[in-house]
Amino acid sequence: MSQVTFNQLLDDVPLYTPVEVSGFLCDDTVKQQTSSFTPAGYTPAPFKTTRVSGTLKPSLYCGSDGCNNYTYFEILTTSEQHLILANTAIHRLAYRCCNCEQKSYEFYLEITPSVSGDADNNTIFKIQKVGQQPRHGKAIPKKASKLIGKERNLFFKGSISENQGMGIGAFSYYRRVIDSQKDKIFDEIIKVLNLTTGNEVLIQELTDAKAETQFTKAVDKIKTALPDGLKISGYDPLKLLYQALSEGLHNHTDEECLENAHDIKLVLFQFSERLDSALKDDAELSSAINRLARKGK
């Protein structure tokens, strides 16, 4: 079981995925319990309850017109912050955007303490999300939307499946999106390659690969590696996606499919950043050259 921050739990972790979390308790409550006066020779009974912090402000995506970005969210007073350490219980926590004060999230967390008393912010809790409103996961970045294109609704279904912990469903949706949009992905790569000379072989391989209907079969035909500027941590993103997609569904558990689906999404998002950055850098350079050229006339 992995250990994550409270912010990661709310923003990244799919439903029904148990994780270990600490550091989310109310500091004032912890201090009051640990600093209580104890007469000499007296051993106090452990505190059986604690509270979720009301001052933590998780960074979550706000899709309202005035935000459309990650902003800080504050807890609402309707939240169930009181924790009884002896029991596993489901708690409803509600958060509202600090910026627009309109967008809100509700999380239903099944919280299992690892101690029966005297919890502090080093105490590990086993937590899983068992409900969330709105139910969708993280918003699709604008740069990735360009690659996803007409399959946005299909990708959205994959995101919902991933957020609900349904690995096979999420993997299937993401694979269909990439198969459908492989020509768009290749065309965006070709745009970047056309900015410099010496890429003729790779451009031709990408063009020929578009004749295939499946992404994995298309990548099989591409023998030339992408330039370093498009690689992610030194790895060719086409090969990374190929490795994840070529494994298929039949030999993997739902949990393994969920992990693969998450990795596919992250690589696709990061690759879209690389492509956009390369095109943007060239556009800025062209503008600078044109401005300087006009000054020299």
Residue 174 near residue 148, CB atoms below 8 Å? no
Could you give the percent of the chain with pLDDT greater than 70?
91
Nearest to 246 by CA among 216, 213, 267: 216
Average pLDDT over residues 151-170: 89
> What are the tens digits of pLDDT across the range 57-111?
999 988 788 887 889 999 999 999 999 888 899 999 999 999 999 999 999 999 9
- DSSP character at residue 198: S
Q: Both tokens of residue 133? A: 């409103």
Residues in the chain: 297
Query: For the whole model, what pTM was predicted?
Result: 0.64
Nearest to 157 by CA among 132, 176, 144, 129: 176
**pLDDT at residue 182 is higher than 90:** yes
Q: How far apart are CA 283 and CA 229, in angstroms?
A: 16
**pLDDT at residue 10 is higher than 70:** yes
Q: How many distinct helices (H) and strands (E) make up the chain?
A: 10, 9
Segment among 148-152, 153-157, 161-165, 205-209 with least mean pLDDT: 161-165
> What are the tens digits of pLDDT across the range 32-49?
776 655 555 554 556 788
**pLDDT at residue 22 is higher than 90:** yes
User: Which residues make Cβ contacts (< 8 Å) with residue 276, sequence separation at least 6?
Assistant: 143, 146
> What are the tens digits of pLDDT across the range 120-130?
999 999 999 99
User: Which residues make Cβ contacts (< 8 Å) with residue 154, sequence separation at least 6?
Assistant: 173, 176, 177, 180
**pLDDT at residue 51 is higher than 60:** yes
Residue 18 preceded by cis peptide, ω within 30: no
- More confident: 295 or 137: 295
